[in-house]
Structure 1
């Protein structure tokens, strides 16, 4: 079950008369703000108390045993009143607060600058600078920081929002940024990976709604040239030629035979050692030297449907089994949409990427994308299957 507070008072509680909503949808996605939109009647006791950009809305999941957990915290962005005498309250998750602070230009060295630092420490510095600029309710404590990476010189010559720089950091270093509220304390984490989920699998014929498999070659490379830092003696970047038999590129012979020569570059502007550059280049090459096989499933969270299983949490990985579509793997929960009034209608989206260069993945399509979709499941049975090739 779910209950909702607005600035600490119940906006919705299934057991309290007058604290009702007419609609409520919570959307959570990996590395995004998330949103929660709820509708109330205009004579709701809290209707006149809604303050745009200030009122905080929290969604709390609770059970009959007294356990409860805040699963969402957001700020009211907009309100819409309609002819049915209802008000829709539109909120965005509290990660949006990082769009309210600006990181000013800074040099590699100096006072109160990040200097040469790892992604994790750079993240901590960004949060500190954000907290110095904003209201108390927009501030966060540093929580879990498990991201790893090489230290690099940091400098900027522009005025960017903290959120924009965080997005750039994730694009460069990977990982996941999330916020969470525990015991009234608001944390922000930067994770290398989410925690593993447990207690509930996603299985065909049980809780899977849709299955989509996309096979694409858009980002395929069969040769990769790693480029390192530029040195003072040579304006050209460091390459791996000296430690790679005179060749400045890495090659996947099987992929070349399959798809031909497709050359791309990858930059590591902080690396000056050719051996280290080759190691990092090989890691990057594994991500782009094959066909991109993306599997996406939509499923029902059985815990919302009344089953005694652990809830599905955004970002975590669960085991998915759909033998008809050759899916037997861990997939990440990338999106969750929760119907706060009818939790059984909620669903999650799971996605995963596998890399392969075998022609079997492309089958007879010769490069065409193949989609396989289960359109409906009723009483545990597949009602209709549509296949497009």
Structure 2
């Protein structure tokens, strides 16, 4: 049961015809602010109670908070119907500026922060000092990898923009707004949601699939440069060269050089070690598989709902997709969730997984469907709240011959 509240006042409740909005839809995406859009008739009791940027709009499914944010824009159409657009709470970080500060081990500023985690905390503290209580965040869970920073400076950037370019694009993790009572926490975590026991399966709730690979980021040789222009020439064995390369990748793609800075490394041996680790990432194709599916919770309330950031097992033998139950590294991440509050049957989730491999062929060769199908059937029968219908087994057998 979906409800929309504005500053505690009911805008939408399907149980009350006097409190209805038109076509309410939510779009949630990892590391994005999120959006809520709906229409509103002039006869609605609270049509004049939504104050742009000031009012707080909350969307609930039963008692679960799905969206919280603020009204951003509104417009009226020919029939005088108001169209309201809202953005999520992460957008509050657009309201503050990071004044010039220097962070890292090389700065002389008093009370500086020397790691990415400590700097992140300082950025949020700076944000909180500029905005009203309703837009502040308490620092929550931070479990990203801690990295020592030599030098990082702010220069009047918006907090959201600075975090995007200097944190989200560099350190694997997701920003998550979490409410506990009246406290709003901002987490920076490696795993955003839960591990789901619902299965996305071809023939049941899988709507679409896309698989694509990108070769533009391939590098077969890199020239590493450390602190104070240190190179690897003295550490690179008998070669004495200033670069590292991978012969298999060169044979496949040819010589593709890139220069990479390791500003924290000053020892040539350590620089060589880090360069070889980095090269392994550069020689692989990023093969991304993106799925679009329906949450079966919309049909059967006894099946656990899928939420943004959840890890979900996916099965589509037709496309060579076979998650191994219990091995979350083979699960797919819910990166986007689109909800139609008026017609929940239209709710749609987008899941994705990126595989690094030297060639496209390695992905296809990695799945032996015949060998795994009996194991998959057995495990799927044992999942709580799920059953594998005989017609599904028949389909699988017919398509595996």
Indicate the structure with greater strand content: 1
Alpha-carbon offset, residue 332 of structure 1: 1.3
Cα distance, 1:91 vs structure 2: 0.4
Kindly provide the CA deviation profile for residues 44-96 of structure 1, in whole angstroms up to 9, marking residues without a partner as x: 1111111011111111121xxxxx22121111100112222321110011111
2:195 corresponds to: 197
In structure 2, how many angstroms separate the alpha carbons of the residues matched to 1:162 and 1:10?
A: 32
Structure with higher helix content: 2
TM-score by length of 2: 0.82
Distance 1:313 1:157 in 2: 35
Could you tell which deviates more after superposition, 250-259 or 125-134? 250-259
Structure-2 residue corresponding to 1:220 = 218
Conserved in 2, the CA contact under 8 Å of 1:215 and 1:362?
no
Residues 1:323 and 1:106: Cα distance change in structure 2 (over 3 Å): same
Corresponding residue number in structure 2 for 1:284: 278
Deviation at 1:362, TM superposition (A): 9.8
Query: In 2 relative to 1, CA 74–119 (structure 1 residues): closer, same or farther, beyond 3 Å?
Result: same
Q: Which runs of 5+ in 1 are unaligned?
A: 63-67, 231-236, 364-378, 381-389
Measure the CA separation in 1 of the matches of 2:2 and 2:275: 47
**Conserved? CA contact 1:304–1:344, under 8 Å:** yes
State the shift of 1:359 in Å: 5.6
Task: Indicate the residue corresponding to 2:319 in structure 1.
Answer: 325
**1:358 matches 2:356:** no
Measured in 2, the distance between the counterparts of 1:250 and 1:316 equals 38
Aligned equivalent of 1:366: none
Which whole-Å CA distance do the structure 1 matches of 2:35 and 2:186 have between them?
17
Partner in structure 2 of residue 35 of structure 1 = 35
**3-state SS of the aligned residue for 2:119?**
helix
> Any conservation in 2 of the 1:197–1:313 contact (CA below 8 Å)?
no
- 2:76 maps to 81
TM-score by length of 1: 0.85
Question: Structure 2 stretches of 5 or more lacking a match?
Answer: 323-329, 365-390, 393-401
Give the superposition deviation at 1:3: 1.1
Query: Bigger CA drift: 87-96 or 308-317?
Result: 308-317
The RMSD of aligned alpha carbons is 2.1
Aligned match for 1:167, one of 164, 168, 174: 164
Distance 2:346 2:284 in 1: 37
CA distance in 1, matches of 2:90, 2:280: 32
Whether 2:227 is the aligned partner of 1:211: answer no
Counterpart contact for 1:222–1:290, Cα < 8 Å:
no
| Cα offset, 1:323, TM superposition | 1.3
**Which residues of 2 match residues 204-353 of structure 1 at below 5 A?**
204-230=202-228, 237-245=229-237, 246-328=240-322, 329-353=330-354
Once the 2 structures are TM-superposed, how far is the Cα of residue 139 of structure 1 from its aligned partner? 0.4
Alpha carbons 1:212, 1:295 under 8 Å: kept:
yes
